[in-house]
Structure 1
């Protein structure tokens, strides 16, 4: 599972200080995610950014392994975790296929929030996520479906030429739903959050 580490390393300082653009949607995502977690759960978060969500969830689970492809993001996240005095979050730089990331498997839950649309090898990533979950474990994702708005593809292509955008997929909601099912997951809950682009929030069980 790969993405542009250098792009996100450069973006990390600004990303860490930027306000969440859709706080209502973010809070709704946290609320629904917490409802599917338990105090004994061992959780893996892929694409953790600067650990903001891991910090929000840490009090609801036993342990979170939080990972990101960007070393700069992870270093900022470590500082935030240390400052908060939280001792049940472990941060790693890496992706799902890396031994250091997978060493805690199998997990009770795996999170990929605002990540799947950034992956050029989504099918492989979903297979790895399936393999790292316990049977019956939950995969919780939230994904921007850029394919639902025709203008994103030319816009993002131009931005990428100037180094202003990372790799993204232009997937539609139905295609993403099909991909997750094909990887061996049964949907427990899904919501398409409105916006430009819409975001598919899904909770799925490994079968």
Structure 2
């Protein structure tokens, strides 16, 4: 790859932070569904948190959030936003998910969020395994994932191969649901507003 993923997102961070959400209605739907499944005592992990918008929105509904991203610029923006908003229960850290410690049994998370990140991970199975190990029995995993259709399944990953974009995994919703099931999750809610849009899945860990 011509540009390392962390460097790519560092370069894009300020522009990304200023860019409005493409589909505000869909984003609000995902926020609402997630919020309905959270409790005031919950401890949450969000990996690939970007500039922290989602974590900061959910902060009022839970006890604590660990929000991580391997882009130092994204985390810097997130920390500034938290300070400006007076949010004290979100811990933003520069860290890749594969390097974030799996918690001990009594410290496992009630929920894990992965919004717009699973199609970018280098090893999907390893990532899902770490998610399951990080969750309490019956804990929830919320994900929103780019699912490629038709010509996109070949064209967009090719741009990642030559270094124009970060490497993007050619996932479909069916493949993602199947991999979740293989790693001990039960899909409780699956939603896409339209073909070609991200797939939003709420899955529960079987322990």
Tell me if TM exceeds 0.5: yes
For the pair 1:37 / 2:38, whether they are aligned, the reply is: yes
Question: Hey, what's the Cα distance between the residues in 2 that align with 1:79 and 1:52?
Answer: 11
| Structure 2 counterpart SS, 1:193 | coil
**More deviation in 81-90 or 181-190?**
181-190
Residue correspondence of structure 1 range 149-164 to structure 2 within 5 A: 149-158=150-159, 161=162, 163-164=163-164
SS in 1 for 2:78: helix
Specify whether residues 95 and 183 from structure 1 end up closer, same or farther in structure 2 by C-alpha distance, changes over 3 A only.
same
**TM-superposition CA deviations, 1:113-137 (whole Å, max 9, x none):** 1110011201000000100001111
Alignment match, 1:110: 112
Unpaired stretches in structure 1, ≥5 consecutive residues: none
Instruction: Quote the Cα distance in structure 2 between the aligned partners of 1:167 and 1:159.
Output: 4
Change (3 A) 1:191 1:155: closer
Question: What are the ranges of 5 or more consecutive residues in structure 2 without an aligned counterpart?
Answer: none
The answer to whether residue 85 in structure 2 is matched with residue 80 in structure 1 is: no
Aligned residue in 1 for 2:181 = 181
Partner Cα distance (1:9, 1:103) in 2: 28
Do 1:47 and 1:69's aligned partners in 2 also have CA atoms closer than 8 Å? yes
Distance 1:149 1:193, change over 3 A: farther
Matched-pair contact (CA < 8 Å) for 1:193–1:201: no
Structure 2 matches for 1:50-89, cutoff 5 A?
50-89=51-90
SS in structure 2 at match of 1:97 = helix
1:123 aligned to 2:106? no
Does residue 1:171 correspond to 2:177, yes or no?
Answer: no
Report how many residues are paired. 201
Deviation at 1:177? 0.6
Match of 1:143 among 142, 145, 150: 145
Cα distance in 1, alignment partners of residues 61 and 90 from structure 2? 12
Q: Tell me how far 1:192 sits from its aligned partner.
A: 2.0
* Runs of 4 or more consecutive aligned structure 1 residues displaced over 6 Å after TM superposition: none
Question: What TM-score, normalized by structure 1, do the two folds share?
Answer: 0.91
